[in-house]
Chains A and B, each alone.
Chain A
Amino acid sequence: MKQTYETIIGLEVHVELATKTKIFCSCSTAFGGRPNTHTCPVCTGMPGTLPVLNRQVVEYALAVGLASNCSIHQMCRFDRKNYFYPDNPQNYQISQLYLPICHDGYVEIETEHGPKKIRIHEIHMEEDAGKLIHDEWEDCSLVDYNRSGVPLLEIVSEPDMRSADEVIAYLEKLRKMIQYLGASDCKLQEGSMRADVNLSLRRAGSKEFGTRTEMKNLNSFKAIRRAIENEQERQAELLDAGKPVEQETRRWDDNKEFSRAMRSKEDAKDYRYFPDPDLPPVLIPDEWIQRVRNSLPEFQEEKAQRYIREYQLSAYDAGLLTESRKIAALFEETAALSEKPKKAANWLIGETLRLLREKNMDPEQLDFSPEHLAALIRLAEDGSVNNQVAKKVFEKIFEEDIDPVAYVEEHGLKTVSDTGMLEEAARRVIAANADAVEQYHQGKEKILGFLIGQLMRETKGQADPSLAGEILRSLL
């Protein structure tokens, strides 16, 4: 008999922190270096080497913890998680089990039933492992330790989510928050944000939790949604058939839209966690917490609310502008410089986002100056350039951050509003397009658009379009 089930989901989210150097040595964390070029004796686990904590990791962990309303263990510690695998040079991972830095927090998400709190069980700091490369051709495995020792935060939620929508909303919320903090770029595809989904079902109305599975290898929001829906179905079928759900770790295959059991609870490893004797406890005094708390940025929602209030923007526009902290900052500066917040918003939402999409770029990569955008807005406002020209100039600003005033001057792009010159050009256009003129006189008003186009061409696009129309009409 078919039952109705409630889905219970908790998430373990790994976030790669944006520190310049690794968590326990001074090697670079840059992505994509040649194998084993960002390594040293410490992050390759050479004998006798010792870890020394990068304080910036604690700083970021505190910021994320405070932003998600966590309590802080003011004396936290690192523990060793022991397991043998070649991507892990010491054969233990330095992580936090017994005293994680942050605990008992929450974030609020929007659901169809209104706002909902998702509780955070804990946030801990740990080191990433290296990467194994299996060379099928040579029948051997190689290991690249560039990623070994890159700092991670693991954010563990309580089992508070009930649907894929809530999971996505929670992840979006975390991602936005962490990006705003500058603590990570949170890219799922590149692995700087990874989520493992713990999911169980229980009969609707029941208080007891069912047996859960853990789903790994989820590399996009889409994959997460599909995996959740798939796992809900799989477990429901088992339960409907009176079969038990096994407690196990499953691996999602996004190409096949299917998950496979990796290991069951029975072969769960004993990691023999114990406090790392190489690292003294991390002491976090009140002042440190206060300093980080004071430096927390204005997050997306508050910012969007303020834009609606201060600049009379629509909720939709305010939402788009605050998608990225970088664009929001550009907007605020441009708005202040140009004193035209609506125009600034239009440029950033319209052309900027379009170009970003076209060039497949990230908002973080924007590096034009708000001064130049503000100058362009002024040029367009006082009629010095027409719309078409302004868009072209903006592309130049976007690409090379040119000074629009100098650029327009240099390339002679100023709008032609000299009536004498325009009249001359208009006569040439009329002479050259007898057919069109004929049609116009026969009452085909629409053909005027074509003639204006010709006049624009004649003036290399610099004619003031309304003036051009006026002149043509009077001459005809």
Chain B
Amino acid sequence: MIQTETTALALSREIREKKRTVRETVQETLKKIHETDSSIGAFLTLRPEEELLEHADRIQQQIDDGTLNSPLAGVPVAVKDNLCTRGLRTTCASRILEDFLPPYSAGAVERLEEAGALIIGKTNMDEFAMGSTTETSAFQITKNPWNTAHVPGGSSGGSCAAVAAGEVLLALGSDTGGSIRQPSAFCGVTGIKPTYGTVSRYGLIAYASSLDQIGPVAGNVSDCAALLQAIAGHDPRDATSLVRKDLDFTSACVCDVKGMKIGIPKTYFQDGIDPEVKEAVLRAAETFRSLGAFVESFDLPLTEYAIPAYYLIASAEASSNLERFDGVKYGCRASEYEGLHDMYKKTRSEGFGAEVKRRIMLGSFVLSAGYYDAYYLKALRTRALIKQSYDHAFTTYDLLLAPAAPSTAPRIGVSLEDPLKMYLGDIYTVSVNLAGLPAISLPCGFDRGGLPIGMQLIGNAFAEKTLIRAAYTYEQTAQGLKTTPTAEKEAHR
């Protein structure tokens, strides 16, 4: 059996040391998913077992003949359903792509497969990644494995819940305004939003192109680093993809934060934050201090403008990115219509959910003649200023410590009643996307109800290794936090 406490790196090592086979591993993973997922709802699509086992045997063959020896060889991975997977249904959790079979795989998926990992299935998400709870999915509600009355967060809720529930050890998510970090916090797992341009966006169905970034979700920092290492790298098919020199992220998994300068943005701890979250994050700050880091709070200006700037830019880009879903070429088309415009109207009215429509309308409005300067351009200028204020902060600090979300996971059904309040929940995460910076979200405690609390470490551009080193050091120190919903339940039994 795969132990819930095991890591992906350890699992692959066992496989490569012939202590278990890839086939067994896949079978156990499928068994676990079949047992658990009816109560969690993390997966939208699983790859057919036959195909998986055949793939497993091929990987086994490569391992056996010595052609494959990568650190994630043989490990099953769950993939968010906005990443194209060749021949495997890719829906973005939207009716409009309900039966879409991409004829190509995303660059990140290709890299994973080259590293010998297996795509086990596709995970639920907010429709087109628009949402913070995974409740805007057109297909199903995903539940938080720590308490199934609560949401897993979003939009990568399916990926984070699958890891938290022990269904898989690794998953891919995408983060446009916090969509990896916030559900990671809500589900008590670790997730990284890399520097913009680190992971190819080719094959990632775009929500907001200038903000979207694919990243890893795992049960611990080392696995996260290894998964990031597997998917990072330049891709000529993505013009925004960067050529980066040092992608050896796993080498940063060392315990040492001595002399590291950590800044805590004051405004993040003032209004609207849940006291339990605040306390847990400040306790983590104490831990860093006790480990030899230099920690102080400081003023990070403009934080209050991040949310409006983010929603204007993201909606504007989304309104254009989602134009291609028109019923002409792929995806669903309304069954009855009269003429072209009626076909467009009905297809898109029926195919998109309420939150997607809201953002398309908002985005179309801010780009329209007469409003472009007042809204869109102003948001771009704000974005540049926010980037500057981070640049300034990083002249003093190696990294910043912040909460990942103002509260722990809300109950299912409450968030969508007040979209504006839901948007405000992104306060700690969106500015990182606006500035293109890397950040890691990792568990730092539990609230009284037993729901996980996550903290976020934000780095300067290309400083993933600093983030990983700090996160790893914290994780190794705060051993008591390394728990899973299953282990927790067993402890209470």
Residues of A within 8 A of B (CB): 41, 44-53, 80, 82, 84, 86, 89-92, 141, 143, 270, 272-274, 277-280
Contact = CB atoms under 8 A, between A and B. Distances in A.
B476 interface: no
B103 A41 contact: yes
Given A47-B205, A52-B237, A82-B367, 7 more contacts: A45-B324, A47-B100, A48-B206, A50-B201, A82-B323, A272-B368, A274-B367
11 contacts: A44-B329, A48-B206, A50-B239, A89-B329, A92-B323, A141-B340, A270-B369, A272-B320, A272-B369, A277-B317, A280-B240
A446 to B, nearest CB: 76
Given A47-B100, A143-B328, A52 B239 contact: yes
Contact of B368 (A45, A86, A143, A270): A270
Nearest to B100: A47
B324 A90 contact: yes
B239 A41 contact: no
Interface centre among B83, B236, B238 (most CB of A within 10 A): B238
B239 A82 contact: no
Interface centre among A48, A91, A143 (most CB of B within 10 A): A48
Given A50-B238, A84-B326, A280-B240, A92 B102 contact: no
A48 B200 CA distance: 11
Contacts of A53: 239
Interface in B288-335: 316-317, 319-320, 323-326, 328-330
B97 A47 contact: yes
B326 A278 contact: no
A130 to B, nearest CB: 10
Contact of B202 (A49, A270, A274): A49
Contacts of B435: none
B324 A274 contact: no
B87 to A, nearest CB: 14
B324 A47 contact: yes
Nearest to B323: A91
Given A80-B320, A84-B323, A91-B326, A50 B237 contact: yes
Nearest to A145: B329
Nearest to A86: B328
Contacts of A45: 324, 329
Contacts of B210: 277
Interface of A is mostly: loop
A92 B329 contact: no
A125 to B, nearest CB: 14
Contacts of B102: 46-48
Interface centre among A46, A47, A91, A141 (most CB of B within 10 A): A47
Contacts of B82: 48
Interface in B93-121: 97, 100, 102-104, 106
Interface of B is mostly: loop
A336 B82 CA distance: 65
A80 B323 CA distance: 11
Contacts of A44: 329
A92 B344 CA distance: 15
Contacts of A143: 328
B165 to A, nearest CB: 27
Nearest to B240: A280
B106 A48 contact: yes
A272 B369 CA distance: 7
B329 A48 contact: no
Nearest to B200: A50
Contacts of A274: 316-317, 320, 367, 372, 376
B287 interface: no
Nearest to B367: A272
A48 B317 CA distance: 14
A382 to B, nearest CB: 59
Interface centre among B238, B239, B319, B367 (most CB of A within 10 A): B239
Nearest to A279: B239
A89 B324 contact: yes
B204 interface: yes
Interface in B169-228: 201-206, 208-210
B369 A278 contact: no
Contacts of B328: 86, 89, 143
Interface string B332-353: 0000000010001000000000
A49 B97 CA distance: 15
Contacts of B319: 82, 272
Interface string B62-100: 000000000000000000001110000010100001001
A86 B239 contact: no
B441 interface: no
A51 B100 contact: no
- Cβ-closest 4 pairs across A and B: A91-B323, A277-B210, A272-B367, A277-B209
Interface centre among A90, A91, A141, A277 (most CB of B within 10 A): A277
B433 to A, nearest CB: 12
A234 B12 CA distance: 79
Contact of A272 (B236, B325, B326, B364): B364
Given A44-B329, A278-B239, A90 B323 contact: yes
A82 B209 CA distance: 16
Given A47-B97, A50-B238, A278 B209 contact: yes
A274 B319 CA distance: 11
A51 B372 CA distance: 24
Given A84-B344, A143-B328, A50 B202 contact: yes
A380 to B, nearest CB: 56
B203 A91 contact: no
Contacts of B376: 274
Contacts of A92: 320, 323
A279 B340 CA distance: 30
B329 A49 contact: no
Nearest to A47: B205
Nearest to A268: B369
A333 to B, nearest CB: 40
B111 to A, nearest CB: 15
A91 B319 CA distance: 11
A44 B104 CA distance: 13
A48 B201 CA distance: 8
Given A48-B202, A92-B320, A41 B104 contact: yes
Interface in B349-378: 364, 367-369, 372, 376
Nearest to B211: A277
Nearest to A87: B328
B216 to A, nearest CB: 19
B320 A278 contact: no
B324 A91 contact: yes
Given A270-B368, A272-B364, A278-B239, A48 B323 contact: no
A272 B375 CA distance: 13
Contact of B320 (A41, A47, A82, A86): A82
A48 B324 CA distance: 11
Contacts of B238: 50, 52
Contacts of B239: 50-53, 278-280
B40 to A, nearest CB: 26
Nearest to B103: A41
Contacts of B368: 270, 272
Contacts of A280: 239-240
A425 to B, nearest CB: 74
A279 B204 CA distance: 15
B337 to A, nearest CB: 13
Nearest to A42: B237
A90 B208 CA distance: 15
Interface in B235-265: 236-240
Contacts of A51: 239
A167 B367 CA distance: 36
B380 to A, nearest CB: 8
A103 B317 CA distance: 28
Contacts of A80: 320
